[in-house]
Amino acid sequence: MQKEVITLGDVMLRLSTPGFLRITQAEAFQVRYAGSEANVSSALAGWQIPARHVTRFPDNDLGRAATESLQRYGVNTQSILYGEERIGIYFLENGSMQRSSRIIYDRYDSAFAAIQPGQVDWDNLMEQASWFHWSGITPALSEGAALVCKEALVAARKYNVPISADINYRRNLWQYGKQAHEVMPELIALSDILVGDVVDFENCLGIVEPDFIKACQRAQQRNPGIKKVAKTVRESISSSHNRIKGVLWTGHQLLESRLYDLTHIVDRVGSGDAFMAGLIAGWLHKQSEQQTLELGVASCALKHSIEGDVNICSWSEVESLVRGENVGKLLR
């Protein structure tokens, strides 16, 4: 059996306004299914890296449609659970020029938030895993989801599976009686590679340090298992025009990628997940730290040209962009 990248997390129904309409103008919405961790596994599967997503859907047509959406990207859906609750929804209004994009969440009491420990055979999954990825969204949704995340991390450690975590602190998600600083330290301590910045460190680890390198060093001192920390650095000129690069703290030095000038953004949602997917792919392909960072940022940059949450570009397109080839050309 070929080893798989395992991801865990909620998948939502995305309802976006056509073009650049405001929500108050919309008479119809475009339907897609997406979630931070599922976006990572979908991109990897599209690059021929076996990937499996673990989540929980309502046992109805929406849950089945969400499952089929993941299958179309090539993601293994055999570990998806089903229950009686609802699917979470988010509404997206794409910004343009100086008008910002807006997202409205409606995800309370979702099927995934009702997931409970003991429902997933993590030992069986991690025994055949090449990587495990999670994000801070999962433990924010419910105590059950936090406990399931811990189960997965403990099993991944047991089988020496590399673990990446996108800290992704979102204050408004923590509504079940516990805060991030009470739950996240134990989960982060079980992880090898983090994506996060000083704000994430402050809110999840209590590390108040404005300097990124010093914050990484303090996080590693507190959690010796942390090997690397990455993040993107974005300059927003407008909703349509951003500049972006990536940095990677290797545990010894800070690496910086090339800067991309993104002048006509189509959809930036999911670009951080594309960055994460590119990093994972680079490490799985045994690339150097600098090359892995460049692959992650190239993947992130390409995602801005693609509508929807998932980066559906090919791996050859990512590599070509890193090399500076075929940029904006008409390929025949």
Residue by residue, DSSP assigns 70-124 as HHHTT-B-TT-EEESSB--EEEEE--BTTBPPEEEEE-TTBTGGG--TTSS-HHH
Query: What is d(CA 331, CA 49) in angstroms, rounded to the nearest whole number?
Result: 25
Q: CA 228, CA 7: separation in Å to the nearest integer?
A: 19
Residues 170, 140: contact at Cβ < 8 Å? yes
Domains of the chain in start order, with CATH, are 1-114 (3.40.1190.20)
Q: Check residue 273 and report its DSSP letter.
A: H
Question: How many Å from the N-terminal Cα to the C-terminal Cα in the chain?
Answer: 37
| SS3 state of residue 308 | coil
Low-confidence spans in the chain with pLDDT less than 70: 1, 326, 328-332
- Check residue 331 and give its pLDDT: 59
The amino acid occupying position 43 is A
- Residue range 247-305, pLDDT digits in tens: 999 999 999 999 999 999 998 888 999 999 999 999 999 999 999 999 999 999 999 99
Cβ contact 260:275 at 8 Å: no
Whether 186 contacts 222, CB under 8 Å: no
d(CA 58, CA 173): 20
Cα–Cα distance between 299 and 101 in angstroms, integer? Answer: 21
CB 281 within 8 A of CB 306: no
CA gap 252, 280 in Å, rounded? 20
Q: Is the dihedral of CA 199, 266, 96, 308 positive or negative?
A: negative
- Rounded Cα distance between 310 and 41, Å, is 9
DSSP state, residue 59 = S
Residue 138, pLDDT score: 97
CA distance 271 to 231: 12
Pair 48, 80: CB distance under 8 Å: no
For the sheet with 89-93, list strands across it: 30-34, 12-16, 89-93, 102-106
Report the pLDDT value the prediction gives residue 320, as an integer from 0 to 100. Answer: 96
Q: What is the pLDDT of residue 328?
A: 66
Strand partners, 93: 102
Phi, psi of 137 (to 5 degrees): -65, -40
d(C-alpha 44, C-alpha 50), whole Å: 7
Length of the chain: 332
Residue keyed to tokens 């983090």: 194
- Three-state DSSP at 42 gives helix
Provide the token pair at 88.
């979470």
CB-CB neighbours of 91 under 10 Å: 17
Q: What does the alpha-carbon distance between residue 175 and residue 297 come to, in Å, rounded to a whole number?
A: 33
Query: Which of the 8 DSSP states describes residue 210?
Result: S
